[in-house]
Structure 1
Amino acid sequence: MWRRIIYHPEVNYALRQTLVLCLPVAIGWMLGHLQNGLLFSLVPACCNNAGLDTPHKRFFKRLIVGGCLFAFSSFLIQYAGAEGVPLPLILLVMALLLGVTGEISPLHARLLPASLIAAIFTLSLAGRMPMWQPPLLYILGTVWYGAFNWFWFRLWKEQPMRETLSLLYRELADYCEAKYSLLTRLTDPQTALPPLLARQQKAVDLINTCYQQMHMLSASRDSHYQRLTRAFQVALDLQEHIAVSLHQPEEVQKLVEQSHAEAVIRWNAQTIAARLRVLADDILYHRFPERFTMEKQLQALEKISRQHPDNPVGHFCYYHFSRIARVLRTQRPLYRRDLMADRQRRLPLLPALKNYLSLKSSALRTAARYAVMLAFASSLALFFNLPKPYWVLMTVMFVSLNGYSATRVRIQHRALGTLAGLAIAAVTLGLHAPESWILLVMLLITLVSYLFIRKFYGWATVGFTVTAVYTLQLLSLNGAQFLLPRLMDTIMGCLIAFGGMIWLWPQWQSGLMRQNAHDALEAYQEALQLLLGNEQDAVKLAYQRMRVNQAHNALFNSLHQAMQEPAFNSRYLADMQLWVTHSQFIVEHINAMTILAREHTMLTPSLAERYLQSCEIALQRCQQRLEYDGPDSGSNVLDAPEDFHQGPVTILERHIKRILGHLSVMHTISSLTWSQRPQHGQWLSRKLRKSQ
């Protein structure tokens, strides 16, 4: 029982965050310096936003960089303010100056909002202590935060990677069960595929997270991670075999009518899903897996495939389920991959600065968005004569996320959570409870809030608002006077962040779909060149297969977010949804072909070359249709040739022919969809430009 409590991801995270916040407060209270302890506990908020609690092989280097940036931001805003520089100008310059971190790497990009939050915190401290004290507070606070997290991760070694792997196994279980449990109802791609696509995307995103964690921890070279590395290899095999599809609904329906195949396939899928959930718990709670077999289920499926030799569905399911069962039984991967290092983009400072000074830099746009929003918010505060507008600036920082949909949801949760939290604080402040009871209740509220923050941000905001009001009460004994101004500041900050996300260089996902579709087609072409080329390198095939899945997921994510954005053409998005559906079919065929290539089920060189030429022609036609806004002549010199191969069709050829069929449909959809695109902004560009 204690394993389920102490190793549970939410409990483990909540304990870590609560202790790192509350231990300085407890020590300060016992030593009679409660206010210093409360101020010291503010620093972890900056460290959390900077991602300094992420396990990394350069953990201490990142702590040093983060602490120096926090101290620099704190000193700069005090010194410039003392010299009479207007606050809007200070925040504008600071955001643009620190924005270069976004060009170094995605993890370094989190230092920008964290450093701005450190500067905004300093606004509330300016005038109450010497100028050197807030920077020193940030340096010591970062040292405490780093030392505590280093000790925690030494104590709970491997726990971050165990949590990700456990989530991956659970997602694969849900995906397998959803895919095969309702076999006869999955005949209409328009209704059946979107839920499966969402599950497939979550699985591939978790695989990408595992790759990043292995890269950041150098797990492939650390003996402590050998079992987890093998579990990850097993998960890659499982994802390969679960993600493939036959896509012959008429054959499925025929087999179901002629036999009890649906019940048998569902039995196999549910057995696999149940085993995957058990393995997910075993990984998370440090248990050795028990013996497993599913011989009866496979025998029933094999019997159906023998009774109906002309129907490919039974053979298809038996082939993939038998290999999944072997992996689950032996707990060893079918194929030992050389887990290639994550190709995470990381630039030195000078090349990053050169890229940052380009108008095409996304890091520059993000920094400029923060700069303008903070400058506007501080100007508005000066207009209304607010002496220290730190709450409105903090609200802008906390609710501003990448993407319209994420920011809108965060704003709703933040505003409603703050309103409820202020109401609760207003009622409880009149009770005049003793200081010891207040601190104990704040400890419990902090723990409960961190338990819910990942899934229910609004409820967590309620708790954090209550603790923030009581922190102000303990620091200055006038928390009740802050209730109404803080509510108005929260609403003002949410409105500024929402306006900034809509009008300040927004990255509308519907505008990125064309580029993402082009990138997906390019990834498919590279995969087919490896699959149908002269030499099939298993390591490159495995890595390219994941790149194909990731490229398609980026496209699907763009579509999903675009459908929630305001004022866009619904017909355009509906046609793109159909395009993405056929793209998913191609991904699953490439998954299946990768498995066949590894088992040396290939074509003759001349036949493979001709099929590759046909696929490249079809892919180039689709790319041309996305790249140029012009009339389609109907006859193209790059038209795919007729079926030139006569005789028995192999399994690999069947996949290639279906890929060609999907590309033909995608070309037709592109011709219709592009004329229905929104007629403004970047959608008017006739020629596709490569994203930087």
Structure 2
Amino acid sequence: MRQLWFNPALNQSLRLTLALMAALGLAYPLGLLAPVALSMLALPAVLVSALDQPTPRWWPRIGVGIVGFVLTSGLTATLTHHMPALLPAWFALLGLVLGGLAAWGELAGRLGMGMLVMAVAGLATAPQGPPWLLALSFGACVLWLMVFSALWYRLWRHYPLRQSLAATYRTLAQILLDRPGQLRAQGLPVEFDAALGEQIGLCRQQLLAFGRQGDIAPLRNAFIAAVDLQERLQATPHPEQAKALFTRPDIYPLYRDWTRAVSVRLRRLARDLSQHRPLTSDDRHQAFAEPLIAALQPLAEAGGPRGMVAYYMIGNVRRISRLAERVAPLYQRDFLPLAAPDWRARLRSVCRWSSPVARGAVRLAVLLAAGSAISQHIGLNNSYWILTTIVMVTQSSYVATRHRVGQRAAGTFAGLVVGALLVWLGFRAEAALVLALLLVPVTLALRPIHHGWTITSATTLLVLMFEYFGVGGDAILLPRMLDTLIGCVLVFVAFRWLWPQWQGGRQNALRKQALAHLHRYLQRVLMAFEGKQVEPVLLARSRRLAYEQGISLTASFQQMKQEPGYRDEATSLALLTQYKGAMSQINAVVPFARRGVVLEPEVAERLRRSFDEAYKVLAATLEGQPYHWPPQLDEASSWLSGLLMQQQPNRAGFVLYQMALLLERYQRLSSVLAGQNGSSPDSPPEDGSPAQMSSHSGGTDRSR
């Protein structure tokens, strides 16, 4: 029962269902049952806008949402009563303005779509009473749902944050569990784990929403520990050497057993987080860490590239084991304050036709105007479902919209068939009402799982409710299906042929942003190796921004593969491979930067100059200039190889080893981009090892 109670989908369904039942229970003795039931049409807007999910500045966002819901629904209902001919122009204006809110981020974009849902609700309910009385009842319903949700979260001790953290730990456990098999098969995945990035981003938002409450400290530590785990799992000093090391017959069984033990511990933590159990230390997995470290130790002492990788992995095993044992961060740091949005820059971006947000807002305006005009002239009852379909299936990309269109159409058809079958079987009058009420929590529970199933349940519910009110049969079935099909066709045609924003067209901008963030991350690390003061929180933020850009590249690549006419898969995959490899190698040296490792001044200075020059080559290649790898960078590679052969076994030697690999990553990135532009430059060795480095260069750090 405890597991069912804290299931995210079931708990959300229970929360919202109890809130609606409580409102109806309070309204019944006051004789307000009908208007309160009608005001619950605001629930879809709450779900679309994610208004009930805690975020930074949660209550100001709720206030803006309620005001927007009241205004859009009230004005739309007023126009419906007095000037219905202006509705197409009104919905076009709403689509243009509210669609442009996406320039202020995902939350603002979702809030804009929620206001559009309320505008359609105002259109649908206009005949039911005075427009502004209905609009205010919608606002009161939303306020009640927000207050109820806030009390629910406080009663269950920050429930959304706990669920998000639990999902993060489950994902981390699965990544660690899959790692041995990946190393033994095709190697580590070249793409970033977008789901993990989204989960960590959601945890960060919710943690900022709950602020510095007294009982938040264990959850805050668990979040930072999860970020540290993510960084450790991303840190790979040399993927090919790591694969060769951990797939050795004497190492692989020990490594597999250790990953399984730590994965079990992480899943246990996920269970404790989600079910509100205290987070306690547990060192049972340490029994599997010690044999693995003992097996790696002789290889680390042997020196050479493999020895360096073994030395680093020993430290990584210890850090991951410690994080899993204590659920506490490796080092404490605070969150940087949220930056105030630059309103002028956002407005300028919305006003430029080159902006995807601007084109998306115009496309949405055209869609809503067309849907409203068709609704007025098609001659079917309840044809506002065309606008409902447009708002509900419109997503941020062609691929996501195409999937949602298919789910919406299939779910509507299935729901109509199931509803008609239930009515044929005898569910009429009170029986239809009871079954419809039972379907409310089912529909809410399905919403986070699958849109098609949600629509199937919701459509069945609507058929039963219309049957209860005596509006059944062809009066609802055929028009409902036809309106949905019209809306789906309009959206699909618009996203396919009306100013389509293909991911291939965004690639150059995404690559520029990603490489700029990656280089800024490296610059901060090199500043630390020069002996300059770099705050740990700034290093963590630079790593996060570079990681988020990797997720954007991955998401764009995944969508491009499903878009018509895509032909650039090899280049995109190669670029993503090199980008992720470069970030893994920077992550590998960050612990040494935080611990105060300082290189000799002339060495640190030359490294910084070399990487700045290499980044200039990358930037020029992205701009379409002919590829040319400067001779001074080849000299820098030779110089690094010479340093490695003379280097004593210490931490500085490992840092120089990673810098040599990283400089070749930069060259390979330039080569990939030049190949996209039509050049065919020579590429550095594909194994990622310094070309001129001998097998005895570098060594281990016995100073530990």
Aligned match of 2:623: 627
Q: State yes or no: 1:565 paired with 2:563.
A: yes
Deviation at residue 61 of structure 1 after TM alignment: 3.1
Change (3 A) 1:100 1:555: closer
Identical positions, percent? 27
Change (3 A) 1:304 1:438: same
CA contact (8 A) 2:536 2:594 kept: yes
Distance 1:555 1:141 in 2: 40
What is the CA deviation profile of residues 162-204 of structure 1, one whole-angstrom value per residue up to 9, with x for unaligned ones? Answer: 11111111111111121234433244xxxx524xx343x3323
Change (3 A) 1:452 1:135: closer
Q: State yes or no: 1:306 paired with 2:297.
A: yes
Change (3 A) 1:85 1:30: same
Distance 1:574 1:227 in 2: 45
Aligned match of 1:139: 139
CA contact (8 A) 2:236 2:242 kept: no
Distance 2:345 2:239 in 1: 51
- The equivalent position to 2:449 in structure 1, one of 437, 455, 469, is 455
Change (3 A) 1:255 1:216: closer
Q: Which moved more, 1:522-531 or 1:120-129?
A: 120-129
Distance 1:70 1:652 in 2: 56
Query: Superposed, which structure 2 residues align to 1:371-520 within 5 Å?
Result: 371-386=365-380, 388-433=382-427, 435-475=429-469, 477-478=471-472, 480-520=474-514
Change (3 A) 1:293 1:131: closer
Query: Superposed, which structure 2 residues align to 1:247-396 within 5 Å?
Result: 247-249=238-240, 252-253=243-244, 256-257=247-248, 259-288=249-278, 289=280, 291-308=282-299, 309-310=301-302, 311-312=306-307, 313-343=309-339, 346-347=341-342, 356-386=350-380, 388-396=382-390
Deviation at residue 592 of structure 1 after TM alignment: 1.0
Q: Which moved more, 1:428-437 or 1:330-339?
A: 428-437
What is the CA deviation profile of residues 191-249 of structure 1, one whole-angstrom value per residue up to 9, with x for unaligned ones? Answer: x524xx343x332332222222222332xx22221110111121122122221113353
Q: State yes or no: 1:552 paired with 2:545.
A: no
CA contact (8 A) 2:514 2:546 kept: yes
Query: Superposed, which structure 2 residues align to 1:29-178 within 5 Å?
Result: 35-56=34-55, 58-81=57-80, 82-99=82-99, 101-178=101-178
Distance 1:354 1:574 in 2: 35
Change (3 A) 1:609 1:377: same
Q: Which moved more, 1:431-440 or 1:261-270?
A: 431-440
What is the identity, as a one-letter code, of the residue corresponding to 1:77?
Answer: T
Deviation at residue 15 of structure 1 after TM alignment: 0.9
Aligned match of 1:658: 661
What is the identity, as a one-letter code, of the residue corresponding to 1:265?
Answer: Y
Deviation at residue 56 of structure 1 after TM alignment: 4.2
Deviation at residue 50 of structure 1 after TM alignment: 2.3
Change (3 A) 1:546 1:353: closer
- The equivalent position to 1:670 in structure 2, one of 660, 670, 673, is 673
What is the CA deviation profile of residues 432-475 of structure 1, one whole-angstrom value per residue up to 9, with x for unaligned ones? Answer: 43644333322332222222222222112110111122233344
Distance 1:67 1:431 in 2: 42
Change (3 A) 1:479 1:22: farther
What is the identity, as a one-letter code, of the residue corresponding to 1:396?
Answer: I
Distance 2:51 2:673 in 1: 44
Q: State yes or no: 1:12 paired with 2:3.
A: no
What is the identity, as a one-letter code, of the residue corresponding to 2:214?
Answer: S
Distance 1:92 1:580 in 2: 39
Distance 1:248 1:63 in 2: 47
What is the identity, as a one-letter code, of the residue corresponding to 2:199?
Answer: L
Change (3 A) 1:320 1:404: same
What is the identity, as a one-letter code, of the residue corresponding to 1:538?
Answer: P
CA contact (8 A) 1:205 1:550 kept: no
Deviation at residue 296 of structure 1 after TM alignment: 3.1
Indicate the SS of the match to 2:254: helix
Deviation at residue 151 of structure 1 after TM alignment: 2.3
What is the identity, as a one-letter code, of the residue corresponding to 2:184?
Answer: T
Aligned match of 2:650: none
Change (3 A) 1:631 1:241: closer
CA contact (8 A) 2:433 2:468 kept: no
CA contact (8 A) 1:105 1:347 kept: no
Distance 1:27 1:538 in 2: 53
Q: State yes or no: 1:215 paired with 2:214.
A: no
Q: State yes or no: 1:612 paired with 2:605.
A: no
CA contact (8 A) 2:627 2:671 kept: no
Change (3 A) 1:651 1:670: same
What is the identity, as a one-letter code, of the residue corresponding to 1:551?
Answer: Q
Aligned match of 2:686: none
Change (3 A) 1:224 1:435: farther
What is the identity, as a one-letter code, of the residue corresponding to 2:408?
Answer: R
What is the CA deviation profile of residues 51-101 of structure 1, one whole-angstrom value per residue up to 9, with x for unaligned ones? Answer: 221224644433332222222222322333413533211211222244454
CA contact (8 A) 2:617 2:629 kept: no
Change (3 A) 1:332 1:57: closer
Q: Which moved more, 1:393-402 or 1:530-539?
A: 530-539
Distance 1:22 1:504 in 2: 44
What is the CA deviation profile of residues 617-673 of structure 1, one whole-angstrom value per residue up to 9, with x for unaligned ones? Answer: 222212211112x44357678766342242345111111111111221121111112
RMSD in angstroms over aligned alpha carbons?
2.6
Indicate the SS of the match to 1:499: helix
Indicate the SS of the match to 2:476: helix
Indicate the SS of the match to 1:132: helix
Deviation at residue 512 of structure 1 after TM alignment: 1.4
- Structure 1: 5+ residue runs without aligned partners? 677-692
CA contact (8 A) 1:267 1:297 kept: yes
Change (3 A) 1:333 1:139: closer
Indicate the SS of the match to 1:644: helix
CA contact (8 A) 2:433 2:465 kept: no
Q: Which moved more, 1:581-590 or 1:514-523?
A: 514-523
Deviation at residue 392 of structure 1 after TM alignment: 1.0
Aligned match of 1:686: none
CA contact (8 A) 2:281 2:325 kept: no
- The equivalent position to 1:525 in structure 2, one of 494, 519, 522, is 519
CA contact (8 A) 1:173 1:277 kept: yes
What is the identity, as a one-letter code, of the residue corresponding to 1:564?
Answer: Q
What is the identity, as a one-letter code, of the residue corresponding to 1:79?
Answer: T
CA contact (8 A) 1:418 1:487 kept: yes
Distance 1:653 1:495 in 2: 58
What is the identity, as a one-letter code, of the residue corresponding to 2:677?
Answer: W
What is the CA deviation profile of residues 377-435 of structure 1, one whole-angstrom value per residue up to 9, with x for unaligned ones? Answer: 22233443346521111011101110111111111111111100000111222344364
Aligned match of 2:237: 246
CA contact (8 A) 1:614 1:640 kept: no
Aligned match of 2:683: none
Q: Which moved more, 1:456-465 or 1:89-98?
A: 89-98
Aligned match of 1:685: none
Indicate the SS of the match to 2:639: coil
Indicate the SS of the match to 1:41: helix
Distance 1:607 1:565 in 2: 47
Distance 1:388 1:481 in 2: 9
What is the identity, as a one-letter code, of the residue corresponding to 2:7?
Answer: H
CA contact (8 A) 1:602 1:652 kept: no
Q: Which moved more, 1:489-498 or 1:239-248?
A: 239-248
TM-score, normalised by the number of residues in structure 2:
0.87
